[in-house]
Amino acid sequence: MREGIRAFLSYFSLCSQTHLSLFKLNMNILVTGANGQLGNEMRIVSKNTTDHYIFTDVNQVEGLETTYLDITDMDAIRKMVKENDVKAIVNCAAWTNVDACETDEKLATLAEKLNAEAPENLAKAMKEVEGLLIQISTDYVFGKEPYNVPCNPDQKGTPTGVYGTTKLHGEQKIMATGCDYVIIRTAWLYSEFGKNFCKTMLNLTATKPQLKVVFDQCGTPTYALDLANAIITILDKVKAAQSKDEYVGVYHFSNEGVCSWYDFTQMIARIAGHTECDIQPCYSSEYPSPVTRPAYSVLDKRTIKETFGVKVPYWVDSLVKCIANLKEAK
């Protein structure tokens, strides 16, 4: 009799553990800003996972399955989370028109709403269901204080303008909710999708006889596909953990290496074979801007590599892949 009870309990325990493992292996994940650069890359990498992804945006794009969601609407977020049993949100949505924020008060207010208040809404929604929020932030939270060493995640934010300030506010509001979060600051994002520096320079170096590009702003380009893969790695790591507490925090991700915008442009032209364009270096002061951009946007990525085992490719290697994909898509 006792042997029978032990066997039953052993079987029950095994079934429970198997059920728990299956639950951890599959998660419903909401992606906001799904039609932007990073959102589109998330669509690609999500196909290699067992999770169920819900891609949302306020803008509809022909050929892309997109669920409408206004992340400034708390009730709409709660409804979406409840109806789809969402356990994680990846927030790729943001207001990113840096110069416009400085010159238009209404747009500055909109930036605060999208970059600070909306992430707070998402954080509250995840707090209510004990879920995880992955928030994408920016190197623009730094820059006011001069430095020439890579910025670490614990470094105090000193934004130079409205955009960076609103993104820093977003980080602070998320933390204040007490939700489980992973904030990832990134820089110089580019991809095959949307408007970005890489695609702009591919066009200009192919059509202009001469270009001037600033050389006194340094950082590291980030291929959005690499960032998307890092996010998948983070989600997998958190899912497998007994507790999310050890992973909560602020992290940095960009590709490896350092270059100026001038170096970036030279490499874009070289890889693309645009040898006719004469690319010359210039100072930032030659192109006045409403906002002072960070002069040194190199991010220290040690914690994201050590905590999650994220692999970070060299920026030139990733640029080669992106340009090859763009050529293939033509």
Residues designated as active site: 163
CB 213, CB 262: distance < 8 Å: yes
Q: How many helices (H) and strands (E) does the chain have?
A: 12, 14
112, 140, 249, 252, 295 from 188: Cα distances, Å: 21, 10, 22, 13, 13
Give the residues across from 183 on adjacent strands: 135, 250
How far apart (Å, rounded) are the C-alpha atoms in residues 176 and 179?
A: 8
E strands present in 191-304: 210-214, 218-219, 222-223, 249-252, 259-260, 278-282, 296-297
Q: Which of 131, 152, 192 is nearest to 304 (CA)?
A: 152
